[in-house]
Amino acid sequence: MVFTDMLACLDSYPDASSLTAVDQCARLAVALGEGVCAVATHVRIPLKSNLIANLLLDLSDVARKEEERSLHNAQNVLERFVKSASVAGLAAPATMIIRADLQDTSEQIVRIARTRSLCLIPQERFDDGQASLAEALIFGSGRPVVVFAAGDQAVVKGGLDTVVVAWDGGRAAARTVADAMPILSRAGSVRIVSVLNDKPSVSAGSAADLVRHLALSGISAVLDEIDGQGQQIGECLTRRAQDCGADLLVMGAFGHSRAREFILGGATQSLLRAPIVPVFMSH
């Protein structure tokens, strides 16, 4: 069982996703499934009519050039993705350029993602907009998302051999494990990590039933319990994932809405903003 209808979200404005990010995204898509469509945006920059400002600064011409730059970037990253995916062994990857106002880009991609099985998002800088897109997709699409930091570290060195599952017994964790079953069923090693002394609901042995549940699907998982007292949960999880040589960290995304703006849980926020290993998230 694999993901057959993935969406790879590439950046086109103000800066394009780097060649490294695009190549890593293609390799990750090959490791996760068989069918993928890469999407990038041709942004529209609406300007309020102001004749004097336009005459003084030529704002409309500036906006037009920025829009053209975003289209050029989108075309380039999509062309690179097709080449990289083909080299990695993915047959006939699809591409899509969407036209959207700058402030509506995430909303449009969220709508597209609702009819895809999984979204992939390379992130290169804290402020590159991809983290905000990941947040919008996780909490708005109803689909799982894989976020990874593009850079020099090896993403998907040789497939998804070692997968770490963060388990606190909550609803988001349960949803994420169910969404990640295509990955867990193919992984060489699955390790369940429970962080004790962080949440009252997590006690020694509380993840044993998840081990039983996975075993019924033919997945042999090892349970790791670590003491998280006085530590940041996100740091605990990423440190254990690194110690295990994990290719992927699977965890539920926690957040609640306040006036339509999601307030993220600590672990969710730290791993969205600075993922040390690729992170598979659902909500």
Give the pair of three-digit tokens for residue 93: 């990857």
pLDDT in tens, 22-66: 999 999 999 999 899 999 999 998 866 555 555 545 667 888 899
The pLDDT value recorded for residue 274 is 61
Residue 212 phi, psi dihedral angles, 5° rounding: -60, -45
- What is the mean pLDDT of the segment spanning 145-173? 82
List the single range of 17-21, 55-59, 142-146 with lowest mean pLDDT. 55-59
The pLDDT value recorded for residue 226 is 82
- What is the mean pLDDT of the segment spanning 246-250? 92
Q: Is the pLDDT of residue 98 over 90?
A: yes
The pLDDT value recorded for residue 77 is 97
Cα-Cα-Cα-Cα dihedral sign, residues 229, 233, 235, 237: positive
The pLDDT value recorded for residue 51 is 54
Pick one of 3.40.50.620, 3.20.20.140, 3.40.50.300, 3.30.300.180 as the CATH number of 162-282. 3.40.50.620
Instruction: Return d(Cα 90, Cα 83) in angstroms, integer.
Output: 10
The pLDDT value recorded for residue 78 is 98
CATH 3.40.50.620 in the chain, residue ranges:
6-149, 162-282
pLDDT in tens, 201-247: 666 677 899 999 999 999 999 998 887 666 677 777 888 888 888 99
Q: Is the pLDDT of residue 108 over 80?
A: yes
Give the pair of three-digit tokens for residue 71: 């289209």
- What is the mean pLDDT of the segment spanning 136-152? 89
The pLDDT value recorded for residue 46 is 80
The pLDDT value recorded for residue 89 is 86
Whole-model pTM: value is 0.88
Higher pLDDT, 220 or 154: 220
Q: Is the pLDDT of residue 3 over 90?
A: yes
Q: How many CB atoms sit inside 10 A of residue 224's CB? A: 17
Q: Is the pLDDT of residue 101 over 70?
A: yes
The pLDDT value recorded for residue 42 is 97
The pLDDT value recorded for residue 234 is 72
Instruction: Return d(Cα 95, Cα 102) in angstroms, integer.
Output: 20
- What is the mean pLDDT of the segment spanning 71-93? 93
Asked whether the bond before 122 is cis by omega within 30 degrees of 0, the reply is: no
Higher pLDDT, 60 or 271: 60
The pLDDT value recorded for residue 203 is 62
Distances (CA, A) of 218 to 214, 244, 249: 7, 21, 20
User: What would the DSSP string read from start to end of the chain?
Assistant: --B-SEEEE---SSSPPPHHHHHHHHHHHHHHBS-EEEEEEEEE------HHHHHHH-HHHHHHHHHHHHHHHHHHHHHHHHHHHHHHT--S-EEEEEEEEGGGHHHHHHHHHTTSSEEEEEE-STTSSHHHHHHHHHHHSSS-EEEEE-SSSPSSSSSS-EEEEE--SSHHHHHHHHHTHHHHTT-SEEEEEEEETT-TT--TTTTHHHHHHHHTTT--EEEEEEE-TTS-HHHHHHHHHHHTT-SEEEEE--EEEETTEEEE-HHHHHHHHS-SS-EEEE-
The pLDDT value recorded for residue 151 is 74
Fold (topology level) of 6-149? Rossmann fold (3.40.50)
Mean residue pLDDT of the chain comes to: 84
- What is the mean pLDDT of the segment spanning 250-275? 61
